[in-house]
Structure 1
Amino acid sequence: MCESSNKTENDIVRLSQAMDVLAKLIISKQKDGSQLQVEYEHKLKELEKFINLLLGLHESTVGSMMNTSVLDMVLRNGIEIMEKDDQKYALIPIKAKEEADKTTSTIQGVTSKKSSKKKKNKIKCSFCHEAGHTRAHCGARLTVIPKK
């Protein structure tokens, strides 16, 4: 009986160590993934700055800027290559600055509306029966001196 319980304990220890190694591996992979995402977003922003600078240099494209949401999708699926006069060109999605301004103002308008519509807590406290807090945060209960 003692020998079988000893084997069981050894199995549990080995299983625990294997789970520990697996958990550490998962955590390291998650960190790598988040780091890659940060790097990708940084590179996308730098690319956006560069392309917008190029678009601003030419008079016919002064009112245009890069469409980042579409570009992100294009980069994930592959950039379309076009050939003209024996020269290959990569197509980059652009949009008018007016559209970009409308999009950003709409996004900003939506966020401000959400923050102004905060609902008040309707929960009643089970100690003092007042609305707005729970028993755990009840000032009346917390100020009562407990009997010894």
Structure 2
Amino acid sequence: MSTTTTAAVAPLTIQDAQVLVESARAAAEAQGVAVSITVLDAGGHLLAFRRDDRAVLISGETSTRKAYTALQLDTPTADLVEAVRPGGLFHTLPTALDRPLLFIAGGIPVHRGGRLIGAVGVGGGAPEQDHAIAVTALGSALTA
């Protein structure tokens, strides 16, 4: 009889989420961009949220949808933009599902020990800015 063991991977904690939010906030401030930041755990549940006072109101929704999309597809949303264009692999996905998917750059999956443990989403700036802020936050959080 063969047995396999799987090493336990710590879930994304509220402390991790707070570090991600603070890192994203600092990155956005350095760029002069007002954003909303959402952190979800592996189950898609909200761990942390922050909206800058000057961020457009819809940024709260977009940051959450970007995080959800990155989590569900385990891919940065920036890498999915082409896939939903006509002829793309996921062209009909946004309308086929009754889920809050958003294929705009700014969502990044979070991994620990090679396992998906959550996602961070940033909304409020240009898509390229949101993506860069999320990437910076993830890099800072992993090294913190």
Asked whether the two chains share a fold, i.e. TM above 0.5, the reply is no
The higher radius of gyration belongs to: 1
TM range (shorter): under 0.3
Task: Please identify which structure carries the higher strand content.
Answer: 2
So what's the TM-score if we normalise by structure 2? Answer: 0.25
Task: Please identify which structure carries the higher helix content.
Answer: 1
Higher relative contact order (CA 8 A, sep 6+): 2
